[in-house]
A = this chain, B = another copy of it.
Amino acid sequence: MNHPPPPPHVQADAFLAEAAALLGVRGLTTDPERVDAWLTDWRGRYTGRALALASPASTAEVAALVKLCAAHGVPIVPQGGNSGMAGGATPDATGTAILLSLRRMDRIRHVDPATGQAVCEAGVILQSLHDAADAAGLRFPLTLGGKGSATIGGLIATNAGGTQVLRHGTMRAQVLGLEAVLASGEVLDLMTPLKKDNRGFDLKQLLIGSEGTLGIVTTACLRLLPAPIGRATAWVGLGGIVDARTLLRQMERALGEALEGFEVVPAHCLASVLAHQPTARAPLTEPHEWNALIECVSPSQDSAALRERLEAGLGTALEQGLIADAVIAANDTQAEAFWALRDGISAAERALGPAMQHDISVPVEKMPEFIIAAAPAIEAAFPGTRAVAFGHLGDGNVHFHVLAPEGAVRGVWEEADGKDVSARVYDLVTEWGGSISAEHGIGQMKVEELARLHDPVALALMAQVKAALDPDNLLNPGKLLLNPPAREAARLARTAAKA
């Protein structure tokens, strides 16, 4: 005999009572004062609702909670430092999901200089790992602006990038082992770090970058490198972005493994930063169309030796007429000042007015031509806008910002013309064989654009994997991939557009 299901609030009450019994007072709260701050992403673009905020203290508690959610059909939105750029950790507006914070799982279990490994729980903050590695004479070779709040679990879930990818790779390259709770509540233990392991599909790689849609990372074993001994940093003035690529290749040859960062900054961005930060100073006497910021680090050569190699390489480039001017930082303070110019771009551009920001990549060797073609195309299509590209040229990844026309109203322009601008930028990137998300992930921000523009074969494959591993669609639903009904609608729309 079938009873009708109880009304939703009764179901939720039963679930919450069981969850509270499981997690205790510290582990579960519905108090708006403790929950609300985590329901909006840090850029303030997305706000959602949740049944409660769960903060389990251990993998076992995460697993038990996921089993409970599976039994009650409660969706789960995992969250680390809530510093993601794509709304991937913000629940939707229905309030049916539970927000699962990993922040209480913040132990660094060990840092081992002998093996060059660290074992961290998912909630460890990146800065804490940097500090722990540093104290052991080691270094964790990934860093980014949000290091004071971003967690190891979130960095793995989004395969985070940053400014050292050129040399050390993204988060994917740092993960030696991981542990994750699956949709069933089972624990997948891939923690033993093996340099070679060909026992079937690489499930670790499948979970990295899956944004909490296939499993919840609870612990990781990460690689550490010897602490650097030497450092050399240069600011270079160039006439064009094609020359910047030539310089990149020459620097790769001249500096080899020591070349760790190669960022480009157009004149407009530098001028914005200088105007925005009263104490900032231009590194070179004259302005240049383009600037390159070059960072070299070595675990074996000292700073003097590195500066000598960098100087020799830049000297050759100067003689060739490839670069117009260059200055090598005399010390760490000056190097940090150069980086502050680079890191200050986003804030300075924001101060100028509304803008659409795009984290995109194309093959490294095509990036200059892409910028040369795409910036004027966007400016022509949207009169009054200004398109600027800056960032990780060495990774083929720039932040492509489109500034609104003068007088555009913040909060209005973004939702109107801004959306069209973004669609056009993503169209262009796709035409060039690039990625609409180089390092920030898809989250909820780009999920519709991914459905519109990504290879249908790849999309279908991802949907198959998702359905197989999370058949009830409870793990971060609607992030990265549209929910099944929306996915089908998008597929039909794509087919219709082609016909």
Contact = CB atoms under 8 A, between A and B. Distances in A.
A433 interface: yes
Interface in A346-386: 361-365
A192 B442 contact: no
B464 A196 contact: no
B300 A256 contact: yes
A119 to B, nearest CB: 12
Q: Which of A193, A201, A439 has the most CB of B within 10 A?
A: A201
Contacts of A37: none
Nearest to A443: B198
Interface string A418-446: 00000000000000011111111110000
B438 A196 contact: yes
Contacts of A202: 159, 172, 205-206, 208-209
29 contacts: A114-B249, A115-B365, A165-B195, A187-B457, A188-B455, A188-B457, A194-B363, A194-B396, A194-B434, A195-B361, A195-B397, A197-B438, A198-B440, A199-B458, A200-B210, A200-B454, A200-B458, A200-B462, A201-B209, A201-B214, A201-B465, A202-B205, A202-B206, A202-B208, A206-B206, A256-B257, A256-B300, A257-B257, A465-B465
Contacts of A172: 202
Contacts of A438: 194, 196-198
A395 interface: yes
Given A190-B458, A467-B468, A161 B200 contact: no
A219 interface: no
A433 B433 CA distance: 41
Contact of A199 (B195, B214, B454): B454
Nearest to A453: B199
Contact of A196 (B197, B211, B395, B467): B395
Q: Which of A190, A210, A257, A439 has the most CB of B within 10 A?
A: A257
Contacts of A200: 209-211, 442, 450, 454, 458, 462, 480-481
A300 B255 CA distance: 9
A215 to B, nearest CB: 9
Contact of A186 (B161, B206, B226, B457): B457
B256 A198 contact: no
Contacts of A435: 194, 196-199
B115 A461 contact: no
A182 interface: yes
Interface residues of A, number: 74
Nearest to A460: B186
B457 A196 contact: no
A465 B461 contact: no
A368 to B, nearest CB: 13
A433 B177 CA distance: 12
Contact of A361 (B114, B194, B396): B194
B434 A395 contact: no
Given A188-B457, A197-B435, A201-B462, 20 more contacts: A182-B457, A186-B460, A188-B455, A192-B363, A192-B433, A192-B434, A194-B396, A195-B364, A195-B397, A196-B438, A198-B209, A198-B437, A199-B442, A200-B210, A201-B210, A202-B205, A202-B208, A226-B253, A256-B300, A465-B465
A187 B458 CA distance: 9
Contacts of A114: 249, 365
Contact of A395 (B195, B392, B439): B195
Contacts of A455: 188-189
Nearest to A221: B363
A284 B441 CA distance: 55
A209 B197 CA distance: 10
Nearest to A258: B257
A299 interface: yes
A358 B364 CA distance: 42
Interface in A290-309: 299-300
Contacts of A434: 192, 194
Contacts of A469: 461, 464-465
A83 interface: no
B209 A206 contact: no
A412 interface: no
A161 B196 contact: yes
B201 A437 contact: no
A63 B57 CA distance: 49
Contacts of A55: none
Nearest to A226: B253
